[in-house]
């Protein structure tokens, strides 16, 4: 348990904020949600989250909470990292002040800035590297922030650090060109990140027996989210270790196809890839896979009236290729179960490689799920 924090409601809110780091939300949205959570958790009137630039000297992003649009417009330029904000950049340690105007490094406020007295600032760091700071001002109902408030803010800053670190790592992976860098990052992901996530999951499971039924359910969900994150990181490792062949690999083609499908669906499907798709799936089967997924998404767009589509593509330990397309629409129609032309083509593509296609109601009864399965190597095609 966090030092001095024994309020179950505050712990639940903190857990909500931490779980956002593993969501599909963009980094700016995650940072704003963390800043908003911090304001609520420590009863502050204003909050902000500053992310340092690559040089670590100034603020590249500054997310603020509590100021109205009119106040922001009247203040003008947002902080650039001077004064007490600059102090936290140079000396990244938690700082609590009853009146920030009395601090020797106080820089003062610009015209039209609302008055601020009590202050709590904590660094956003991971592995000793400073990414920015979380700032909170104007403690409500008390003259200054408490050690308990500081403990909660430090935990939220850690979540923000993970979000920033993940975003920068992803950007770096996208820009990598050298094979040795890709191999090194794949090894780091496997040996460090996955092991830490696994250890965290074990710790949460150990805490499960001590929690109330409600909090226990949230811990179970947190463990499930960690398992899903580990699967996604394993997928990234396979992508990093895949040979760099001319043109786009199967993974890239699948992601591009899902992006293109947004034009007809009205939204982009959520795609999850796992296993050595680029190395274990030969060109012919890959072409059938892409045609199958294109037809399946087109069927959803034409008939399902769906608002959500999940696409799972993976190769298991035996080399079997499995594709699942799940939507939340009206479910499989009778005509679809009999077999329309598009679905018949999908079925024939699987059967040609000794596989099968199944269309059934989605788990829970809402929507439909199409499963396309092709066995691993050793099962030659039976026809065109």
Q: Rounded to the nearest 10 degrees, how much is the dihedral formed by the CA atoms of 55, 57, 60, 64?
A: 150
Helix pair 8-19, 147-175: axis angle to 10 deg: 10
**Cβ-based neighbours of 129, under 8 Å, separated by 6 or more:** none
In this predicted structure, what is the pLDDT of residue 13? 67
Distance CA 246, CA 358 (A): 34
Asked if 233 and 189 touch (Cβ cutoff 8 Å), the reply is yes
Q: List beta partners, residue 322.
A: 314, 373
DSSP result, 291-335 = HHHHHHHHHIIIII--S-EEEEEEE-TT--EEEEEEE-SS---HH
Task: Note whether 8-171 and 250-374 share their fold.
Answer: no
Strands 119-126 and 356-361: unpaired
* Measured CA angle at 241 (ends 257, 311), to 5 deg: 30
Integer CA distances (angstroms), 114 to 110, 117, 118, 138, 207, in order: 9, 10, 13, 10, 43
* Measured CA angle at 131 (ends 52, 99), to 5 deg: 80
For the chain, 384 residues long, the average pLDDT of each consecutive 10-residue run is 54 65 66 86 89 69 81 66 66 85 67 81 81 89 90 83 75 54 59 66 70 76 74 59 54 83 84 84 88 89 89 88 94 56 85 92 90 76 44
Distance CA 325, CA 368 (A): 8
Distance CA 144, CA 62 (A): 23
Distance CA 323, CA 281 (A): 13
DSSP assigned state of 362: P
CATH class of the 8-171 domain in this structure: alpha beta
Region of residue 199 (phi > 0: left; psi between -120 and 50: alpha; otherwise: beta): alpha
DSSP assigned state of 131: E
DSSP H helical ranges for the chain = 8-19, 27-41, 69-75, 83-90, 147-175, 179-188, 194-208, 213-241, 250-265, 277-280, 283-299, 334-338, 341-351
Q: Where are the domains of the chain?
A: 8-171, 176-241, 250-374
Cβ atoms within 10 Å of 108's Cβ, excluding its own: 8
The domain at 250-374 falls in which architecture? 2-Layer Sandwich (3.30)
Q: How far apart are the first and last CA of the chain?
A: 61
In this predicted structure, what is the pLDDT of residue 383? 45
Asked if 100 and 129 touch (Cβ cutoff 8 Å), the reply is no
Strands 59-65 and 44-52: antiparallel
Cβ atoms within 10 Å of 83's Cβ, excluding its own: 16
In this predicted structure, what is the pLDDT of residue 360? 92
DSSP assigned state of 276: -
In this predicted structure, what is the pLDDT of residue 41? 86
């Amino acid at each position: 348990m966090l030092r001095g924090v024994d309020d179950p409601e505050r712990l639940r809110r903190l857990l909500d904020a931490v779980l956002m780091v593993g969501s599909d939300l963009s980094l700016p949205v995650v940072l704003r949600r963390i800043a908003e959570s911090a304001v609520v958790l420590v009863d502050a009137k204003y909050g902000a989250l500053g992310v340092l630039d690559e040089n670590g000297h100034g603020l590249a992003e500054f997310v603020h909470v509590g100021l109205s649009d009119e106040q922001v417009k009247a203040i003008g330029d947002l902080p650039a990292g001077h004064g007490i904000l600059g102090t936290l950049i140079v000396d990244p340690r938690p700082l609590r002040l009853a009146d920030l105007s009395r601090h020797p490094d106080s820089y003062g406020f610009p015209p039209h800035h609302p008055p601020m007295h009590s202050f709590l600032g904590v660094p956003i760091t991971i592995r000793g590297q400073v990414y920015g700071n979380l700032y909170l001002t104007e403690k409500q109902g008390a003259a200054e922030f408490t050690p308990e408030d500081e403990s909660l803010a430090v935990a939220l800053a850690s979540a923000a650090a993970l979000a920033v670190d993940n975003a920068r790592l992803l950007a770096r992976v996208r820009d990598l060109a050298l094979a040795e860098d890709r191999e090194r990052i794949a090894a780091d992901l496997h040996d460090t990140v996955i092991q830490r996530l696994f250890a965290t999951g074990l710790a949460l499971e150990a805490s499960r027996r001590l929690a109330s039924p409600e909090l226990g359910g949230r811990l179970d969900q947190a463990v499930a989210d960690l398992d899903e994150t580990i699967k996604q990181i394993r997928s990234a490792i396979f992508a990093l270790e895949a040979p760099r062949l001319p043109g786009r690999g199967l993974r890239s083609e699948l992601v591009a196809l899902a992006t293109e499908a947004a034009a007809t669906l009205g939204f982009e499907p959520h795609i999850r890839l796992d296993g050595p798709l680029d190395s274990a799936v030969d060109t012919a089967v890959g072409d059938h896979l892409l045609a199958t997924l294109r037809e399946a998404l087109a069927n959803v767009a034409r008939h399902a009236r769906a608002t959500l589509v999940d696409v799972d593509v993976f190769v298991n330990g035996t080399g079997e290729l499995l594709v699942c397309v799940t939507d939340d629409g009206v479910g499989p129609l009778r005509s679809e179960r009999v077999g329309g032309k598009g679905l018949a083509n999908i079925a024939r593509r699987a059967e040609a490689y000794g596989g099968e296609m199944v269309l059934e109601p989605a788990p829970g009864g809402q929507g439909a799920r199409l499963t396309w399965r092709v066995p691993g190597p050793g099962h030659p095609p039976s026809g065109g």
